[in-house]
Amino acid sequence: MSIDPTDVITIGDELLRNNPDTFDEDFGENKTHVERLTDIGSKRVRNRVAGYITRKKQRQTQPSR
């Protein structure tokens, strides 16, 4: 199953907006949360969404240069 990158961003942003304290910088934990909070059937798509959320959280905690 293929997914458009803008769909990954849309899903990830919506999950972060609705559950801001659920996700952190740990990819493994984020995979579990995405699986629990969505009905995405494809493991690959779930991992892409979890990866997007993980990267976004990591960028939020890094100090600005």
Q: Which of 39, 52, 63 is closest to 12 using CA atoms?
A: 52
- At 22-65, the pLDDT tens digits run 999 999 999 999 999 999 999 999 999 999 999 999 998 887 76
What's the confidence (pLDDT) of residue 58? 94
Whole-number Cα distances in Å, 10 to 6, 17, 52, 62:
6, 10, 10, 23
Residue 27 confidence (pLDDT): 98
pTM tops 0.85: yes
For position 65, what pLDDT does the model report? 66
Q: What is the tens place of the pLDDT at every residue in 9-21?
A: 999 999 999 999 9
Check residue 61 and give its pLDDT: 85
Q: Which domains does the chain have, with CATH numbers?
A: 5-61 (1.10.60.20)
